[in-house]
């Protein structure tokens, strides 16, 4: 990981190497954190964060689901994200906001522990490797099922929940595959360790629905829009494991992974064993959208202000961070 200059922590910009937390941080012990991820792309309008507001909105909703009051408004967090990218001087990067229960309270009642908010960014290339876009990846259906809504909240992007993805990822890597696909607790296809999944059969794109324990991906929402605009039929329904083997095309989508073809699943060749036509069309449409080459999807881009504009605003470059003042006191137990 390549360090950048600054990380935003609870309203201030701190040096990368100083962005530290106590070892008795609640979230470290019990997984009581929620996070999200965005990518910033180079566009002709300048660096732009893809669907920034939607990601921040999902972050805040994930926090609500775990009874964590976020002491900043979505607008403050959105602005802080843009300013962080600008101050780090990056033209493209991955962005990781995290809200977690902090230091000061142990035990399983987290309600009196403070809520900390951090945003970091760094350069991160192709998550599943440079060749994944043109060659596709080999995936394994995991022996681990995706977390059940009876036990946790699949719709939340919560830190502790990712132990499920970590187990599936390790299993697939040790078995010689690049990614895992998890089934839901009923045995239907659910998603990858950090990606939503789609199959194409007879020209129709099918993907698991909201009741299949998926994370409601922002890239998935973009795929729905792009596919619809391109005239493809896209249907949410239960998908049986064998339908993946029998599909003409399978692909995955996520912020880190982007749009990635799957060429083999459990050693069954998918379609022709190389990215299919619909996958390639969607990959290109997505790539055009994130890089600002499609006028139609410009509203998805949150353009990063030039560093010079920030200096003018702050007067001689003084740092009064956007989104700096918390909405409410960060004191322990802000809302209990
Ligand atoms: N499912 C899981 C479990 C994920 O971690 C992710 C990545 N956030 C996704 C799906 C895809 O979501 P998005 O497109 O919003 O990144």
Q: Per-residue pLDDT for 319 more than 60?
A: no
Confidence of residue 43 (pLDDT cuts 50, 70, 90): very high
Mutate which of 61, 155, 156, 157 to test ligand 1's pocket (most atoms within 8 Å of Cβ)? 157
Q: How far apart are CA 209 and CA 218, in angstroms?
A: 14
Active site (catalytic) residues: 157
What is the pLDDT of the chain when averaged over all its residues?
A: 93
Q: Which atom of ligand 1 is nearest to the CA of 221?
A: 14
Q: Per-residue pLDDT for 136 more than 70?
A: yes
Mutate which of 168, 221, 255 to test ligand 1's pocket (most atoms within 8 Å of Cβ)? 255
Beta-carbon contacts of 240 under 8 Å, excluding residues fewer than 6 positions away, are 188, 189
- Which residues have C-beta atoms less than 6 Å from ligand 1? 37, 165, 191, 194-196, 215, 217-220, 253-255
Q: Whose CA is nearest to atom 5 of ligand 1?
A: 194
Which tokens hold the place of 26? 């609640």
Q: Per-residue pLDDT for 129 more than 50?
A: yes
Burial track 32-41 (b if 16+ CB lie within 10 A, e otherwise) = bbbbbbbbbb
Q: Which atom of ligand 1 is nearest to the CA of 220?
A: 14
Helices (H), the chain: 26-30, 52-65, 74-88, 132-135, 162-174, 218-229, 241-246, 277-290, 307-314
Average pLDDT of the residues in 217-223: 98
218 alpha carbon to ligand 1 midpoint, in Å? 7
Sign of the CA dihedral 223, 229, 233, 238?
positive
- How many other C-beta atoms lie within 10 A of the C-beta of residue 246? 12
Kindly list the distances between the CA atom of residue 40 and the CA atoms of 46, 91, 197, 204, in Å, as whole numbers in the listed order: 10, 7, 23, 31
Residue 335 confidence (pLDDT): 38
Q: Whose CA is nearest to atom 12 of ligand 1?
A: 217
What DSSP state is assigned to residue 67? T
């Amino acid at each position: 990981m390549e360090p950048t200059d600054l990380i935003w922590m609870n309203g201030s910009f701190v040096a990368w190497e100083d962005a530290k937390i106590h070892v008795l941080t609640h979230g470290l012990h019990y997984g009581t954190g929620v996070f999200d991820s965005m990518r910033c792309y180079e566009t002709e309008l300048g660096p732009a964060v893809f669907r920034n507001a939607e990601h921040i909105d999902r972050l805040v909703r994930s926090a609500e689901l775990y009874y964590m009051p976020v002491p900043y408004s979505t607008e403050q967090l959105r602005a802080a994200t843009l300013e962080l990218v600008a101050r780090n001087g990056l033209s493209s990067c991955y962005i990781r906001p995290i809200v977690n229960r902090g230091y000061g309270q142990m035990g399983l009642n987290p309600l009196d522990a403070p809520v900390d908010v951090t945003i970091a960014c760094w350069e991160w290339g192709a998550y599943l490797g440079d060749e994944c876009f043109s060659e596709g990846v080999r995936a394994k259906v995991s022996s681990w099922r995706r977390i059940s809504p009876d036990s946790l909240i699949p719709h939340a992007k919560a830190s502790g929940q990712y132990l499920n993805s970590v187990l599936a990822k390790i299993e697939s890597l040790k078995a010689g595959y690049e990614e895992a696909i998890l089934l839901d607790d009923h045995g239907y296809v659910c998603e990858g360790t950090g990606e939503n999944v789609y199959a194409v059969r007879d020209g129709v794109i099918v993907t698991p629905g909201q009741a299949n324990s998926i994370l409601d991906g922002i890239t998935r929402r973009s795929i729905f829009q792009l596919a619809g605009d391109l005239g493809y039929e896209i249907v949410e329904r239960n998908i049986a494991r064998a339908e993946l083997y029998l599909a003409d095309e399978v692909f995955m989508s996520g912020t880190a992974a982007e749009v990635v073809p799957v060429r083999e699943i459990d050693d069954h060749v998918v379609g022709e064993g190389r990215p299919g036509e619909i996958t390639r069309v969607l990959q290109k449409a997505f790539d055009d959208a994130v890089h600002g080459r499609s006028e139609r999807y410009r509203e998805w881009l949150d353009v990063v202000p030039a560093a010079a504009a920030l200096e003018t605003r702050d007067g001689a470059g003084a740092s009064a961070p956007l989104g700096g003042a918390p909405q409410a006191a960060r004191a322990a137990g802000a809302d209990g």
